[in-house]
Structure 1
Amino acid sequence: MTGFLLDTNVVSEVVRELPNPGVTRFLTDNGDLWISTIAIHELEFGLQLLAKGRRQSALREGISRFVDTYTDRILPICHESAKWAAILRVQAKRSGRVLDLADALVAGVAIANNLTLATRNLRHFDNLAMSAISPWKNA
Structure 2
Amino acid sequence: MNECLIDTDILTFYMRGDEIVRSHVERYLFVGNFDQLTISEISYYEIRAGLEYKKAKKQIQLFEDFAQNCKVVKLSKRSLDISAVRYRKLRKKGIEIGTPDLLIAGIAIDNGLTLVTNNLTHYETIEGLTLANWRKKLKPRPAKKGEAQTDHR
What TM-score bracket applies, with the shorter chain setting the length? 0.7 to 0.9
TM-score for both structures, normalised by structure 1: 0.86
In the TM superposition, 1:42-121 aligns within 5 A as: 42-50=46-54, 52=55, 56-70=56-70, 73-121=71-119
Secondary structure of 2:26's counterpart equals helix
Structure 2: which 5+ residue stretches go unaligned?
139-153
CA contact (8 A) 2:90 2:126 kept: yes
Task: Decide which structure has greater helix share.
Answer: 1
Structure of greater Rg? 2
Aligned residues: 131
Q: Distance in 2 between matches of 1:26 and 1:62?
A: 21
- Whole-Å separation in 2 of the counterparts to 1:95 and 1:136: 29
* Aligned mate of 1:29, from 22, 27, 31: 27
Answering whether residue 133 of structure 2 is matched by residue 134 of structure 1, we say: yes
Contact 1:15–1:59 (CA<8 Å) still a contact in 2? no
Matches of 1:57 and 1:15, distance apart in 2? 15
Give the whole-Å Cα distance in 2 for the aligned partners of 1:121 and 1:93: 19
Following superposition, the deviation at residue 134 of structure 1 comes to 1.1
In structure 2, distance between residues paired with 1:10 and 1:60: 17
Identity %: 25
Residue-by-residue CA offset, 1:72-102 (whole Å, 9 max, x unaligned):
x111000111011112212321222111110
